[in-house]
Amino acid sequence: MALSFQIESHDGAARCGRLLTPHGEVLTPCFMPVGTRASVKGVTPEQLKAAGATILLANTYHLALRPGDEIIRDLGGLHQFMGWDGPILTDSGGFQVFSLADLRRITDEGVIFRSHIDGQLLELTPAKAVRIQENLGSDIAMCLDECPPADADTIKLRDAVRRTIVWASQCREAHRRADQALLAIVQGGLDLVLRQECAEQMIRMDFPGYALGGFSVGEKPEQMHAVLPQCAAFLPINKPRYLMGVGRPEDIIIAVMAGIDMFDCVLPTRNGRNASAFTRSGTLRLRNASHRRDPRPLEDDCPCYACRRFSRAYLHHLFQVDEMLGPTLLSIHNITYYLRLMAALRDAIQTQRLSSFRQDWFRDAVVSQDP
């Protein structure tokens, strides 16, 4: 099998497990740093491994445009191309249906994008989305789906669910690569009836894992938090559950308690490039003048390269003079922060203290070091 999932411990709905792929093992709950164009911005594969990363995410739409999935295939596949020997998950391009709404047209056959680079047309059908991901050679591929915005009306939301189900069936039929697992995506917005209907249809097709799409697309966090437990419960208990594109630390903690196993988000590197560092007690904004003479590391107990070697004053200086090392160091720290959070969540589940972990985390995070 291309994918195997073993649950080893529970604490309420939360669970710890092992995700086995052709390129290695991933402990869950896990966080996947995002390498949209076959690169986690500003961070090398070696630095990612040192931070604790075990699985990365790459983007089907962007890699199909540049350099092209066939070029990557001919150069040995995505692992060889980007120098990463661990597991890789590729999304299907479904999120770009939401994020590039002004540059695409949806039909029942698929999505036609007008390239954001040069205006050329890219037609993404379910079969083509699968073929691109097979050429990329990722360990985990995703079905093409329609990701509607949070303010979509009932008619549009129901139509997106219908289309997502049809496309999942077509993706499953088109998928041929035996060493790659194809996961389905459940849509339905905040409508629990639609979520359940979509989940039931996907489960009948017997995919090796399931994702919840259509969150973090404009709804309020508390709205997502309210429906996540039930949405997760609609999915099989013995297969991995992936919450796509949701990545604020507080959202991850709540989703883990709801029974989610996998996460991805651009926040660690995007915030790093913008001089913001995640810490246990709040966000540090390194452009602030308060850090100009501060000799402390970002976090005293953080093992990352940035914290072991450099002061807040030095990091402040790098951003003041626009040195490219600043975004790299903060990205390394932020990725390390996220992966340490996931390790702490796994430990809390294994020791049956997840509720107290959540309580302590939210209590401490209220007080920011850098208001």
- Tell me which of 11, 69, 145, 264 is the catalytic residue: 264
Cα 37 to chain center, whole Å?
A: 14
**Chain position carrying tokens 């009932």:** 154
Tokens of 278: 């995640």
Identify the helix (H) or strand (E) that includes residue 251: helix 249-258
Cα 170 to chain center, whole Å?
A: 24
Q: Is-catalytic flag, 264?
A: yes
Phi, psi values for residue 248, rounded to 5°: -65, 140
Q: Is-catalytic flag, 360?
A: no
**Torsion angle of C-alpha atoms 137, 202, 242, 179, degrees rounded to 10:** -20
- Tell me which of 91, 145, 191, 261 is the catalytic residue: 91
Tokens of 47: 């630095």
Q: Which of 124, 140, 106 is nearest to 62 (CA)?
A: 124
Tokens of 65: 């445009």
Are residues 189 and 159 in contact, defined by beta-carbon separation less than 8 angstroms?
no
Enzyme catalytic residues? 91, 264
